Structure 1
Amino acid sequence: MTALRERFATQATLIDSATHCALDQTIRSLPTGVVDADFADSVRAAISGGKKFRGLLAFLGASLAEDEDDDARLVEVNNLAAALELYQASALVHDDIIDHAFTRRGAATTHQRLAGTHRNNGWVGSAEEFGQSGAILVGDFLFSAAERALHAQCRSLRPTHAQRLMDRFTTMHAEVAAGQFLDLRSEQLPLNPEDSFAISAQEARRVIVHKSARYSIVHPAALGALAAGASDSAVSLMDSILTPWGIAFQLRDDVLGVFGDPSVTGKPSGDDLREGKRTVLLALTWAKAPVRARGVLVNVLGNAQANATDISLAQEVVATYGQADHEREIAALVDEGDRLLDAADLCESITEDLHDLAQILTDRVK
C-alpha cells in the first residue's frame, strides 16, 4: 500500500465521522418533531458507505498548500470534507431519480426506499410518486447540511480565504447542474444505426468534464487547497494536472458501468446501458461497430426492461469495437497528467503523492 493510500484509509474514518456529525447538527437545529423518523432514516442512509473520495481529495489539496503546516491543514478541512460528502450524497439521491436507479452501493436507492415505506404502511396514493417526491426533499435536506458544514468551515478561515472557498464551491454546484442537463439531453437524442455520428465522442467528453471530472476530482482538491490558503497560481497548476486524471477517472467509471461486477460495484451489471448513457466508451464503440452491431446496442440503450441476454450481447459489442480504444484514451490521459506534473518541478513528496493519486483514480474496480 502506498503512503497516500495509507493516509486515505485513516482519513476516510475521520471524514465519515465528520459527515455524520454535520448531518446530525442540521437535524438537531430544527424544532423537535419537525424531522420525521422515516425522513431522518433516509437522510442518514444516504450518507452511509462510499469511499469518501471527495473529502479525501480536500485533505490532499490542503496538504499541497505551501503556507500551512501539515497538522493544521488536516484539522482545518474537516468541515469542508463533510460538506463535500453531504453534497455528493445530495447529488446521488437526485441522480438516482433521474436515472430510475433501483440500487446504490448494494442497497435500495432513496426513492425506492421511501416507496417501500409507503407500501409497507398501506398509505393512499402512488408509492412511486411518494418515493420520488420524498427523495427530492431528502436530497435538498442533504444539500442544506452541506451548506451548514461549509459555513462552519468558512468561519474558521480568514475572510479572503472564505470568499474564495465559497466562490469555488458555488461554481462547482452550478457546473454539476449544467453538466447533468447536458447528460440528460444526450440520452434523449434518437439513434439511427446507419448514422455513424449518432453518438458524439466530443459531446460525451464535454459532459464528462463538466458533470463529473471537475466535480469528482478537480474541484474537491482545489477547495482543500483554497481552504489552506494556496495561491491562485498553485490552484491553477493543480487544476491543470488533475483535469486529465479526472477525465480518466470518469472513463474508468464508464467501463465499470458496463462491465462491473455487481457484487463489487453495488449496481446491476450493464446498468449504464439500460440507462442509455452516451459515454465516450459507447461513442468509440458506435463509430467502429457495423450497422448490425449498432442495432444490438439500440435494443438495450435506455431500455429498463432489457434482459440479461440482451445486456450480454451489448457488452460483447462494446468489448469488440470500443474497449481497446477506450483503454488507450485512459492511458493517454494519465500520461498527460504525468507530463504536466513532472514539468511542474514540485517537491518530491508532493510529486509522489500525485503520481499515487493517478493510480488510485484509474486502477480500480468500483
Structure 2
Amino acid sequence: GKTFVSPLIPPMGYRLIEGFEENAAPLLQGDVLENEAIRIRFSPDGGILSLWDKKEKREVVEKGKELNQLIAYEDRPFQYDNWELAPYYKEKSYRVDKVIRREEIRDGERVGFAFIHSYCHSTIRQEITVLGNSRRIDFKTEIEWNEPHQILKAHFPLNLRVREVRYDIQFGSILRPSTQNDPWESAKFEVCGHKWADMSEHSYGVALLNDGKYGYGSLENDLSLTLIKGGSFPNPNASKTIPAFTYSLLPHIGGYEDGNVIEEATLLNRPLKALDLAGSFVKEVSCSLVSLQEKGVYVDRVKRAEDKESYIFRIVEEHGDHHAFSLLLPFVKKAYLVDLMENRVKEIPISNGQISLELAPFEICSLEVCL
C-alpha cells in the first residue's frame, strides 16, 4: 500500500512491473519538506511561507506572504444563489487559520503533512504532499462545510509580475487580464477554467491545477481557486456533501508549453491505474495502442465508432501552433479522416504503421481506424 513513482509507461498502453525500485523519498524535518527539486517551509496554520526552486535558485512566494491561504468570504449575490458570484464578495473576509492537528504523511515516495482546520461549524482536512523528484505540490482536500452563504477560496500570492493569466478550456486555452484597470477588466474577477490556470513570465511560471474546481481568480500576482460556494438555492445542502478533491501547484521553467502544464494536469485528472496480474498470462512486457512525439499535439479521446466495427481517435492541437507529425498506430489496417458525425472524408495512407498528419493552431482532428 505504498506510493511509488512508476517507470515510463508507453502512451495509451501498459507496462508489466515486477516489484518497484524505491527512489529517494522527500525529506521531512520540522516545518521543512524537501525533495530533489524544491524546498517548502510551512507556517503553523498550514500555509507555505517559502517555496524555493532548488534547480532555478528562485523563491516562488511573494515576500511577506503565504501560499495556500484559505479565506472565507460572505457570499450573498443578487440572484442565482448557487451560480452567481457578486463583485463585492471580498468586502467581508475571514482567514481560516485555526489548525487543531498536524500529522506527518510518509507513504513511500509521497511525503508531506496533513493539516486539520477548524472554522466556525466546519472542518477542513488537507494533505499537502510531494513526490521524490517533482516540483508539483498536491493538496488533497476533504471539507465538511456548514457555513451557508460563505465561499471558500485558496490564494497563492506568487513572486511573479504578469498582466495576463492563461486558463484551460476544452481543446485550448484563453488569456484573461490579472489587472483591474477599467470596468471591462474588473468584470473578469472570476474566470472559468477547466484543468489548469497558468501565470508565467518569459522564463518561469506557476500553474494551479485541479481535478474538479473550475472557478479561478487573479489580481496582480495573486492566483486563487474557489473550493466551496455555500449557496442555499435550489439545494440548501449542496455544499455539505462535497467529495474529496485535489488541486496542485506546479512551478515550472518557461511558459505553459515548456513547463508540461497540460501533461501534469492530465495526470492529475486521469492518473495511472495499477492492476494486480499475479497468476495471469500477458504475452508482451509492454504495449502501446498509439503514440506520437510531437509536443503540443494530444490524442484526447479514443471511442468506439457509432455504427461501424472501428474506433475514433480525437486528436487536438493545444499550443496554438502549426504541426506536421507522424502518428504511430502499430495495429491499424486502414485509417480515414472523418467529420464529427463520423462520416468518412478521405482515406489516409499508412506506411510501416505510421500516419502523417498536419494540424493548424487549436485544430481538432477526428480519425477513424480499422484494426
1 or 2, which has the higher helix percentage? 1
- Of structures 1 and 2, the one scoring higher in RCO (CA 8 A, sep 6+) is 1
Q: Which has the higher strand share?
A: 2
With the length of structure 1 as denominator, give the TM-score of the two structures: 0.26
Compare CA radii of gyration and give the structure with the larger one. 2
